[in-house]
Amino acid sequence: MLGPVILAASRSDRIRRLVSAAPVTKQVVDRFIPGETVDDIVPIVADLTGKGLDLTMDVVGEDITTPEQSTIARDAYLALVDHIKDLDLGPRVEMSVKLTMFGQTLPGGHELALANVRPVVEAAAAIGTTVTLDAEDHTTLDSMFAIHEELRKDFPQTGCVIQAYLFRTEADARRLAASGSRVRLVKGAYKEPAEVAYQDKHEIDKAYVRILRTLMDGDGYPMVGSHDPRLISIAQELARTAGRKLDEYEFQMLYGIRSDEHLRLAAEGHRMRVYTAYGTDWYGYFMRRLAEKPANLRFFARSMLSR
């Protein structure tokens, strides 16, 4: 019940100001967003890769309001590439981007986002790695898939995300699996209306399994984005049935969530990629993490009250 309320709050400027100013917020945020600057994050990249984990790096930010902020987003990712290139980790450290951080929803935003994300994809390719386009709310997805298709003409390894809770996703998965794409499947983290998305957790899980089977049986590279233990064992079973070797799919989880499981899967020989977000514009990302687990909100509320 609380999830939708928190997701609605994630779009409120008033609540953003209140939460951001709360004295304890930073220490709770750190659990999910372990740094503010690119200099903070490089030692974390070195630490996690040293433990056998791969990473996808996200500079937090979304829903920008001026075209200039799109250039700032591009430059933040270019700075990241510049900082990680000396670690020489190639595809072990890739990047995830949200196109609304590149201006996708502004007037003329489709072209603006494509123009500013392309140099990031080029820079990533130059150091032997790639970029995945995150999935945001359903109104942005046609544009996201069009940008994905455009980028794949020059950079076929560019990935994208699909969300099991949307009715459209089974068809998207068939198209992407046939085209041999890298695809991360997640349950979906936004507040979506009943006209476009399953609302019931059980229905979402069933859709996740159907879509994952399509990806595993297809020609692409499935990236299983979930912390759900049941879905993880189903994914292993589907991969086995589809005859996939361990390097022909991967697991992905978020930094700060089920960290023991990251290490367990990596120790079993799986490719395990940790989605690691950093930066100062953390509000939307943080609120989605609170919405996913009511216990997080209780912890947050308790730490505010105990001050």
Rounded to whole angstroms, the Cα distance separating 169 from 163 reads 6
Residue 189 touching ligand FDA (CB under 6 A): yes
**Rounded to 5, what percent of the chain is helix, strand, coil?**
55, 15, 30
In the complex, the smallest distance separating the C-beta of residue 156 from ligand FDA, rounded to whole angstroms, is: 20
DSSP 219: S
Verify whether residue 260 is a known catalytic residue.
no
Which range in 10-18, 122-130, 236-244, 288-296 contacts ligand FDA by CB under 6 A? Answer: 288-296
Subset of residues 23 to 52 that bind ligand FDA, contact rule: CB under 6 A: none
Nearer to ligand FDA, 16 or 258 (CB): 258
Q: Which is nearer to ligand FDA, 35 or 208 (CB)?
A: 208
Give the residue, chosen from 190, 221, 286, 300, that forms a contact with ligand FDA under the rule CB under 6 A: 190
Instruction: Supply 22's token pair.
Output: 């709360």
226 scored as a contact of ligand FDA (CB under 6 A)? yes
CB of 86 to ligand FDA, least distance (A): 25
* C-alpha to C-alpha distance for 176 and 180, rounded to whole angstroms: 6
Q: Please check whether residue 265 is in contact with residue 251, taking contact to mean a CB–CB distance below 8 angstroms.
A: yes
Question: HSE (CB half, 13 Å, CA atoms) of 235?
Answer: 27
Q: Which residue out of 54, 58, 134, 137 is catalytically annotated?
A: 134
CA 193 to chain centre: 21
For the record, the structure tokens of 264 come out as: 């367990």
Structure tokens at 169: 């996703």
CA contacts within 13 A on the Cβ side of 252: 25
Nearer to ligand FDA, 11 or 67 (CB): 11
Q: How many residues bind ligand FDA (CB under 6 A)?
A: 23
184 is catalytic: yes
Contact footprint for ligand FDA (CB under 6 A): 134-135, 161, 163, 186-190, 225-228, 252-254, 257-258, 275, 289, 292-293, 296
